[in-house]
């Protein structure tokens, strides 16, 4: 690779500054927002991939909280590349040796040799700037004209790690990179982005995995300075991140990004907090789709049912077991065995010996309020009944010889559909409708879509412009899910689509729910899947979960199974899924001796469904993640940066999952939950309402039937009654559990709740606590009918202060009509 060093200023345009490097390449700095700059290195020969499918900006005040690119991609250059950004004013200072580009919040200084230095403005003192990031002075940018490879090197604060406490006594923490194994803090490790079907992976060590999200957040703590910023490399090629692992005597400590091909095109996102960065990145990549309400219920699955010869009969027995054991369920995911011929799987082919009457099966499940979701794959095996027809119509990704690429796939070889070719898209969408939706299938499970095509002769048609597969692989999964999404939306007559996808890239949240793939059954997977999910959340992918119980390997023992169900019950996706090596099947009733504990965990989920629904709407409307590390909401408390196994559900619930065997207690650190009135803040035990001061370690009881949960003081948690609950269809009850400030405090918030018409109703809430009383003011301007007529408002056990609701004193439990909360406006 050639390191780029010398540059000259060429021109300043209204929204960018362009430099020319010694090799003739053009170095663009775009000023997109006050806190968002873009850096693009454009070779003299032009960009390798002049389009992007990840960048779809949603503005903070947009009436539509989800955006998308054109189907054929968004141009990287020209006026179309600036669409959706506010494009603020900026200043340029050129001293000849340095170029300084500034908004009111962010400043970049460009020096010779080519090196960028980033600084943030102290909002309390606008003339004070703090350096927060720097390129490596001994070579920062490199590219290969021979292979097309690129590299970017930045300074790194390199420090020793205390491996017992997992604390880094240094100044920089690295978070994100999507779905990655290991600790939440990526410091000191090396990662590869290359989508693989990593079945039975080690959640602590295996790399690479399923998704391609080359984005990470740097959190900086230096003396009195605290800052956070994000870097997103908009490149779809295989790439590597080294975050302080590599050392070289000729360079100061550094971190690096390298890609085998593609363009060096990155976005620098200033926080100042980790939360600010995450939410900006979510908006930059298109936001979060809001699926139908039923998608939040328990979704059952197992390879066992569709691999068996009597699939339809077994599925009928599954419904009976749900009734028999009082297990609530909203959907069932049909694994790919329903498409089998012999021992292989053929997408969109129904095995009618296993499922003699698919429409009858769908009606049977629909009558129980349970939706069926069908597994589909983007690769046709070479003996698929329709392979020759698709080959003749040239619907597959092809090689330079004009023949379909051949890849190893499911115990054979097959060819992948080209989702950049409109005829292939049309075939796929027609098949989704005719084979699945018209038979009564409700949703699609887009699986095995890593597009493991390693033939360097393979190319996509690129909507009319031939593109090397190396430049496109992860986006094919995105275009696959987009095609399925469009087919479902067209068919559903206005209902919101629901899709699942295993693989993908930045922007996948616009369409799908995802999960962390085929994990291995062990305690370590339970522990590190939590951290893996946090990495997804911090990388802008909010709607996800894990295979509860473990997918590959031996069956979980009863204790591990219960703890996994408890943990999974508090994630957006709640699915027990397995392909156990001993032929057993993970189901809620698999161990009679712990059935009551499993049932209790699933009922806890349904009890908290209004909270999860609120958080999903909040993710959609406000770009806020559902699952977060504790430091997301308590960044001012440095102890929350210590590695732990806890996570937050929204900003109200702290979940302390039990992730070790034979544990009946759980130690948890309570963040400093302070507010402007009350320095005690504090936390409540969700079950017995005991109150604990923040900024301390406590030990909670964790018998097998309890998931340790803590509610943040000042929070209001919406719940529902689970007596006799079957699914989300009948939701005629709503109780708000109020956890007031212990002494005094004040909080304003919005609570989202979906009404009967699948619209979002917003309740505006003001909570004000003093030593004498607890005041609650609630209002909504929306008149849409809810499924419940009354709201029940409940204080913690033992709370003696009177509750005053909208000026009216009540007892410790109030019951008010929802209609009475509507404020009429003229």
* Residue range 494-522, pLDDT digits in tens: 899 999 999 999 999 999 999 999 999 99
| Cα gap 484→493, rounded to integer Å | 15
820 within a domain of the structure (yes/no): no
Contact 121, 104 (CB under 8 A): yes
Pair (280, 318) in one structural domain: no
For the segment 472-490, the average pLDDT, to the nearest whole number, is 98
| Cα gap 499→127, rounded to integer Å | 49
Q: Which helix (H) or strand (E) holds 453?
A: none
Q: Is the dihedral of CA 724, 728, 730, 733 positive or negative?
A: positive
Domain CATH for 605: 3.20.20.80
Question: Would you say how long the chain is, in residues?
Answer: 826
Pair (368, 318) in one structural domain: yes
Q: If DSSP codes are grouped into helix, strand and coil, which group holds residue 490?
A: helix
Is pLDDT of 538 > 50? Answer: yes
604 within a domain of the structure (yes/no): yes
Pair (254, 345) in one structural domain: no
Pair (236, 206) in one structural domain: yes
Q: How far from 400 is each of 107, 391, 421, CA to CA, in Å? A: 46, 15, 16
Looking at residue 413, its pLDDT comes to 97
Pair (313, 264) in one structural domain: no
Looking at residue 167, its pLDDT comes to 46
Is pLDDT of 776 > 90? Answer: yes
Using pLDDT thresholds of 50, 70 and 90, give the confidence band for residue 124: confident
**424-431: long-range contacts (C-beta < 8 A, 24 or more apart)?**
424/395, 424/396, 425/479, 425/483, 427/390, 427/393, 427/395, 428/480, 428/483, 428/484, 428/487, 429/483, 429/484, 429/486, 429/487, 429/490, 430/487, 431/347, 431/348
Higher pLDDT, 680 or 120: 120
Q: Percent of the chain having pLDDT more than 90?
A: 86
Burial class for 32, CB neighbours closer than 10 Å (0-12, 13-18, 19+): buried
Question: Could you report the per-residue pLDDT of 195-231, keeping only the tens digit for each?
Answer: 999 999 999 999 999 999 999 999 999 888 899 999 9
Tokens 């692989």 found at: 473
Using pLDDT thresholds of 50, 70 and 90, give the confidence band for residue 168: very low
Please state the separation of Cα 755 from the chain's center in Å: 25
Task: Kindly state the DSSP code that residue 267 receives in the 8-state scheme.
Answer: E
Tokens 């991609």 found at: 73
Burial class for 783, CB neighbours closer than 10 Å (0-12, 13-18, 19+): exposed
Looking at residue 759, its pLDDT comes to 87
Task: Kindly state the DSSP code that residue 262 receives in the 8-state scheme.
Answer: S
Measured at the CA of 39, the angle between CA 37 and CA 45, to 5 degrees, comes to 150
| Cα gap 426→388, rounded to integer Å | 17
Q: What is the mean pLDDT of the chain?
A: 94
Q: Is the dihedral of CA 715, 721, 727, 730 positive or negative?
A: negative
Pair (312, 257) in one structural domain: no
Question: Which of 284, 307, 337 is where one domain is finished?
Answer: 284
Give the closest residue to 98 by CA, choosing from 108, 87, 112.
112
131 within a domain of the structure (yes/no): yes
Is pLDDT of 575 > 60? Answer: yes
Pair (275, 326) in one structural domain: no
For the segment 405-413, the average pLDDT, to the nearest whole number, is 95
Interhelix angle 274-284/523-538, nearest 10 degrees: 70
Higher pLDDT, 232 or 161: 232
Q: Percent of the chain having pLDDT more than 70?
A: 97
Question: Could you report the per-residue pLDDT of 615-671, keeping only the tens digit for each?
Answer: 999 999 999 999 999 999 999 999 999 999 999 999 999 999 999 999 999 999 999
Q: How many domains does the chain have?
A: 2
Query: Beta strand 51-52 with 513-515: parallel, antiparallel or unpaired?
Result: unpaired
726 within a domain of the structure (yes/no): no
| Cα gap 272→39, rounded to integer Å | 20
Q: How far from 725 is each of 331, 606, 609, 613, CA to CA, in Å? A: 14, 8, 12, 17
Question: Which of 257, 284, 311 is where one domain is finished?
Answer: 284
Q: If DSSP codes are grouped into helix, strand and coil, which group holds residue 148?
A: coil
Looking at residue 729, its pLDDT comes to 81
Looking at residue 166, its pLDDT comes to 43
Question: Could you report the per-residue pLDDT of 425-441, keeping only the tens digit for each?
Answer: 999 999 999 999 999 99
146 within a domain of the structure (yes/no): yes
Domain CATH for 182: 2.60.40.1760
Looking at residue 163, its pLDDT comes to 43
Least confident of 280-289, 351-360, 781-790: 781-790
Q: Is the dihedral of CA 585, 588, 592, 597 positive or negative?
A: positive
Q: If DSSP codes are grouped into helix, strand and coil, which group holds residue 437?
A: helix
Is pLDDT of 543 > 70? Answer: yes
753 within a domain of the structure (yes/no): no
Contact 107, 118 (CB under 8 A): yes
Pair (453, 569) in one structural domain: yes
Pair (186, 301) in one structural domain: no
495 within a domain of the structure (yes/no): yes
Pair (269, 310) in one structural domain: no
Pair (491, 607) in one structural domain: yes
Give the residue ranges of DSSP H helices in 623-733. Answer: 630-633
Is pLDDT of 537 > 50? Answer: yes
Using pLDDT thresholds of 50, 70 and 90, give the confidence band for residue 755: confident
Question: Which of 284, 313, 328 is where one domain is finished?
Answer: 284
**Sequence-ordered list of residues with C-beta below 8 angstroms from that of 411, at least 6 positions apart, any chain:** 343, 344
Please state the separation of Cα 598 from the chain's center in Å: 26
Domain containing residue 301: 295-611
742 within a domain of the structure (yes/no): no
Question: Could you report the per-residue pLDDT of 726-753, keeping only the tens digit for each?
Answer: 888 878 899 999 999 998 999 999 999 9
Residue 684 in tokens: 């409540």
Q: Following CA atoms 360, 363, 368, 372 in sequence, which dihedral angle do they give, to the nearest 10 degrees?
A: 90
| Cα gap 517→503, rounded to integer Å | 8
Is pLDDT of 52 > 60? Answer: yes
Pair (493, 547) in one structural domain: yes
Q: If DSSP codes are grouped into helix, strand and coil, which group holds residue 479?
A: helix
Is pLDDT of 61 > 60? Answer: yes
């Amino acid at each position: 690779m050639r390191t780029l060093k010398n540059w000259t200023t060429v021109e300043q345009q209204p929204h960018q500054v362009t430099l020319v490097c010694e090799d003739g390449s053009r170095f663009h700095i775009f000023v997109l927002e006050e806190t968002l700059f873009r850096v693009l290195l454009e070779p003299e020969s032009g960009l390798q991939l002049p389009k992007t499918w990840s960048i779809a900006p949603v503005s903070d005040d947009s009436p539509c909280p989800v955006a998308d690119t054109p189907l054929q991609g968004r141009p990287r250059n020209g006026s179309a590349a600036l669409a959706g950004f506010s494009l603020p004013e900026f200043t340029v200072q050129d001293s000849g040796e340095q170029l300084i580009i500034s908004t009111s919040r962010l400043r970049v200084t460009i020096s010779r040799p080519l090196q960028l230095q980033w600084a943030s403005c102290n909002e309390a003192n606008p003339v004070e700037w703090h350096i927060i990031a720097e390129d490596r002075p001994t070579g920062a940018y490199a590219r290969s004209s021979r292979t097309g490879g690129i590299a970017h090197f930045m300074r790194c604060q390199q420090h020793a790690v205390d491996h017992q406490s997992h604390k880094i006594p240094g100044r920089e923490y690295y978070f994100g990179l999507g779905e990655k194994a290991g600790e939440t803090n990526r410091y000191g490790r090396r990662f590869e982005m290359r989508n693989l079907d990593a079945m039975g992976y080690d959640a602590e060590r295996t790399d690479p995995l399923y998704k391609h999200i080359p984005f990470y957040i740097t959190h900086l703590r230096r003396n009195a300075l605290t800052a956070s910023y994000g870097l997103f490399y908009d490149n779809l090629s295989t790439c590597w991140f080294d975050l302080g692992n590599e050392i070289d005597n000729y360079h100061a400590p550094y971190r690096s990004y390298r890609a085998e091909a593609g363009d060096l095109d990155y976005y620098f996102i200033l926080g100042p907090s980790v939360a600010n960065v995450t939410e900006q990145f979510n908006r930059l990549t298109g936001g979060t789709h809001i699926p139908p309400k039923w998608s939040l219920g328990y979704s059952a699955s197992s390879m066992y049912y569709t691999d068996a010869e009597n699939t339809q009969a077994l599925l009928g027995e599954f419904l009976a077991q749900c009734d028999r054991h009082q297990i609530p369920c909203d959907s069932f995911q049909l694994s790919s065995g329903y498409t089998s011929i012999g021992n292989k799987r053929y997408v969109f082919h129904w095995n009618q010996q296993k499922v003699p009457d698919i429409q009858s099966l769908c009606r049977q499940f629909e009558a129980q309020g349970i939706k069926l979701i069908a597994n589909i794959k983007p690769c046709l095996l070479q003996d698929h009944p329709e392979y020759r027809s698709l080959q003749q119509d040239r619907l597959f990704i092809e090689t330079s010889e004009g023949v379909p690429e051949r890849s190893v796939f499911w115990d054979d070889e097959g060819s992948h559909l080209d989702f950049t070719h409109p005829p292939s898209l049309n075939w796929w969408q027609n098949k989704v409708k005719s084979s699945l939706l018209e038979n009564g299938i409700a949703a699609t499970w887009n699986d095995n879509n890593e597009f493991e095509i390693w033939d360097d002769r393979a190319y996509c048609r690129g909507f009319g412009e031939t593109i090397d597969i190396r430049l496109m692989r992860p986006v094919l999964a995105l275009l696959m899910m987009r095609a399925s999404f469009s087919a479902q939306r067209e068919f559903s007559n206005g209902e919101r689509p629901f899709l699942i996808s295993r693989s993908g890239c930045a922007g996948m949240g616009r369409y799908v729910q995802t999960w962390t793939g085929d994990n291995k059954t062990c305690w370590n997977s339970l522990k590190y899947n939590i951290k893996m999910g946090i990495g997804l959340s911090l990388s802008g992918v909010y709607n996800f979960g894990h295979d509860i119980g473990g997918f590959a390997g031996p069956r979980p023992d009863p204790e591990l199974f219960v703890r996994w169900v408890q943990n999974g019950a508090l994630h957006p996706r709640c699915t027990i899924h397995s392909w156990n090596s001993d032929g057993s099947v993970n189901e809620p009733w698999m161990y009679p001796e712990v059935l009551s504990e499993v049932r209790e965990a699933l009922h806890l989920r349904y009890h908290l469904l209004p909270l999860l629904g609120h958080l999903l709407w909040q993710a959609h409307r406000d770009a806020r993640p559902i699952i977060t590390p504790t430091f997301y909401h308590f960044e001012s408390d440095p102890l929350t940066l210590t590695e732990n196994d806890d996570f937050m559900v929204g900003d109200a619930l702290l979940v302390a999952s039990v992730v070790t065997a034979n544990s009946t207690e759980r130690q948890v650190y309570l963040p400093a939950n302070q507010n402007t009135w009350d320095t005690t803040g504090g936390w409540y035990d969700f079950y017995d309402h005991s109150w604990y001061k923040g900024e301390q370690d406590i030990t909670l009881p964790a018998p097998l039937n309890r998931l340790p949960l803590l509610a943040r003081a000042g929070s209001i948690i919406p719940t529902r009654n689970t007596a006799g609950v079957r699914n989300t269809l009948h939701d005629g009850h709503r109780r708000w559990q109020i956890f007031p400030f212990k002494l005094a405090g004040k909080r304003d918030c919005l609570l989202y709740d979906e009404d009967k018409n699948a619209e979002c109703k917003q309740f505006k809430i003001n909570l004000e606590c003093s030593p004498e009383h607890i005041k609650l003011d609630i209002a909504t301007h929306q008149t849409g009918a809810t499924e419940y007529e009354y709201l029940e408002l409940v204080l913690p056990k033992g709370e003696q202060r009177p509750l005053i609701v909208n000026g009216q004193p009540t007892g410790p439990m109030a019951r008010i009509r929802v209609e009475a909360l509507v404020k009429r406006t003229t």
